Every structure is written in C-alpha cells, then in structure tokens.
Structure 1
C-alpha cells in the first residue's frame, strides 16, 4: 500500500505544479502559446531614425505593443502601467526585458515623435515606425490587430489591440499579456516565464 501511495503521489505532483502554473498565468492574464511562432523578416525605423529589423528581437525578451503617439487612452495607460511593472520587477528580470511601441499611425509617428513621446515615460522604451504594409504584416504575425486610418488629415484616431505580444530571445512569438493588465500577477508570472526558459 505504501508503494502504491508513493506512486500515486508521484503521479499527482506534476499535475499539481501544472495547475499552480496555470493559475499563476490566469492571475496575470498571461497566455503562453503551446509552440512558439516564427516571425517574418521585416524592416522598420526606430525612434532614433536607425534601421531595425525583426531579427534584432533575438538575444533578449521583448514585449511588443501596437499603438500611436496621439492615442488618448489605451497607449498612455498601458505604457504607464508597464513602466510601473518594470520598476517593481527584480533587476535580474527587468534587465532581460525590452518594451517596443510599434506605430499603428506611421503618417504622424515619425522617429522624432516616437522619441519625444516615449521620453515622457523615462523607462527606456523603444519605438518602431515605417512602411504601413510591413507594419500590418507584423501586426498579423503577432496577432495584434489594428485598423489603419482611412483619412490621415486633421485629428483622427486609430483602432488597435491593447494586448502585448511576448517575444522570446529566439525572436519568436511566445505568448500574450492580455488586457486588462494585472500588474500584481504579472510580477510573479513574468519572472517565472523568464527564469524557466
């Protein structure tokens, strides 16, 4: 009976750990994909006017977010929350993370506009802008949709997802941080995801 109980315990433990991990991810509103997804090779311009490509996502963890500098609500709230989150993470974790705001409004979001806007947050966030077709291709590959403005004259808005894509150091889509952002859960969940891989 003892050996049977021991076997039962051994069989039960992995499932228990799995449930704990799933509960942690749920509390963080964080979704990990069963398999990482390759991203297309695309080229953009960063907030300093330098050429960048999706290949540059290799080597560290990235959080990609589609938005625009004239956004009245979702973008400033998300960037403020992420700045707060980065400040609460241990340096061993936050040093491995880079957030990139990818423009859904390249007509207005010049490198200078991105640099000025992201500078307000004083968090080291990066920005990408560029050709609309490439931006839409990246949006589709990441599963972060946005609807380009039909008229880019005057005051206009752009509809976009509030979720953030998690890209692994291999430069592949690993999962999503979904809205509403749950900072308390994310502190633990992001640390575990990064330390486990």
Structure 2
C-alpha cells in the first residue's frame, strides 16, 4: 500500500467513524422521550426514581399481592374507589380508551392498577365486578387504611380517609397517577385529567425506552 493509499484509507476510516457516531447520536436522540412533549402530555418524570415500600395488599381475586410484583412492566397506579361518582369512572374510561389505541408492543409492557382508598366498602369481589365493566384487564388492589396511607405517602399521591360512619360518604383523593417503571421504582406522575391523544402519542416512546 502506497503512502497516498494509506492516507486515503485513514481518512475514509475517520469519515466512516464520524458518520457512524452521528447516526448513533441521531437515533439515540430520536428514541429518547422529549421531556417538553412529556410534560405537555401531563407526564412528569422525577429527577431520581424512588424506591417503593415493601407492602402487602389484596387483589380483586382475593389473592395476596406485594408491591414488588409491579416489577417487569410499566405500571400506572390510580388511587380511587368504586363508589366514586366522577373522577374515577372518567379516569378509568380514559385509560381504557388510551390502552386500546396503543401499539400492541406498548400494551404488553403496560398495566393499570386501581388502588382502592375505600377498603370499608371495596371488597375484592366489588373491585372485580367494577373493573369488569371497563373490559380492559385492569388490576384492583385493596388494603387496610394504614397500608394505603404508607403507599400514598411514599409516592406522593394523597388521599383523606373518609368517616365511614356517614351514609354515602365520599373519599377525597388525587386525580394524578403514579408512574412505576419495570424496575419497580417510581419514575414519575401523570397529571389528571388525562389527555387521551397526547398520552397515546407519548407512552410508546416512554415505555420502549426501558
């Protein structure tokens, strides 16, 4: 190989490396969720993820479940209750509609869990019947108030336990959802009310990125 050929070879190699790095950078940027777009969709990511408390609850089938069983999928936790007259049915209906319009790959990596803040009335049987109306495969979990408060405090989704002695009582609770990553750690929040179109646009990129 002549000196000129060596120079051409080196230059060509350097150009190929630069092109490869540029393409990688571009693809990486495209695959990462745009923070501004996420915020506009109501998806707020934490600067640092949070560990979830080790708590046991009961699912809609009456089986014991642990918070760490959320690992393996992205989870949307919504604190509500079956006697809720407005926020809860609206939010769950929106989540069902969003879920139905997501790509299959995204749906398979995502689960919705209703955490009941009304253990006095929301038995597992009641949760199962209620969630069945949405026909979306949602999970329903319930636990004693003390356990619910520990979880709510850990992930900053507040609710105020109701005075269950009053007839037809209501439970004050947040319309926000907690966003849990497949590592079982809280990654952020989704602000309520949900904007279906923006959620459908942003969730696939977020879920695919981890």
TM-score normalised according to structure 2 size: 0.83
Point out the more displaced range, 100-109 or 185-194. Answer: 185-194
Cα distance in 2 for partners of 1:162, 1:100 equals 14
Secondary structure of the corresponding residue to residue 46 of structure 2: strand
Is 2:149 the partner of 1:132? no
CA displacement, residues 20-77 of structure 1 (integer Å, 9 cap, x when unaligned): 8122112211101111100110000000000001011111111100001000000000
2:45 aligns with 32
Q: Does the residue aligned with 2:34 lie in a helix, a strand or coil?
A: helix
3-state DSSP of counterpart to 1:33: strand
Please list the CA deviations of residues 136-159 of structure 1 after superposition, one character each: whole Å capped at 9, or x if unmatched: 100111111000002344211000
Structure 1 residue aligned with 2:124, among 102, 111, 118? Answer: 111
Aligned to 1:6: none
> Aligned residue for 1:94?
107
The answer on 1:53 being equivalent to 2:57 is: no
Q: Greater shift after overlay, 187-196 or 36-45?
A: 187-196
- Match of 1:127, SS state, is strand
Instruction: Say how many residue pairs are matched.
Output: 185
SS at match of 2:85: coil
Q: Which runs of 5+ in 1 are unaligned?
A: 1-9
Superposition RMSD in Å: 1.9
Aligned residues of 1:107 and 1:152 also touching (Cα < 8 A): no
Q: What TM-score does the superposition give when structure 1 sets the normalisation length? A: 0.89
Name the counterpart of 2:158: 145
Unpaired runs of 5+ in structure 2?
1-21
Larger Rg: 2
Instruction: Decide whether the 8 Å contact of 1:27 with 1:182 is kept in 2.
Output: no
Asked if 2 retains the 8 angstrom alpha-carbon contact of 1:59 and 1:170, the reply is: yes
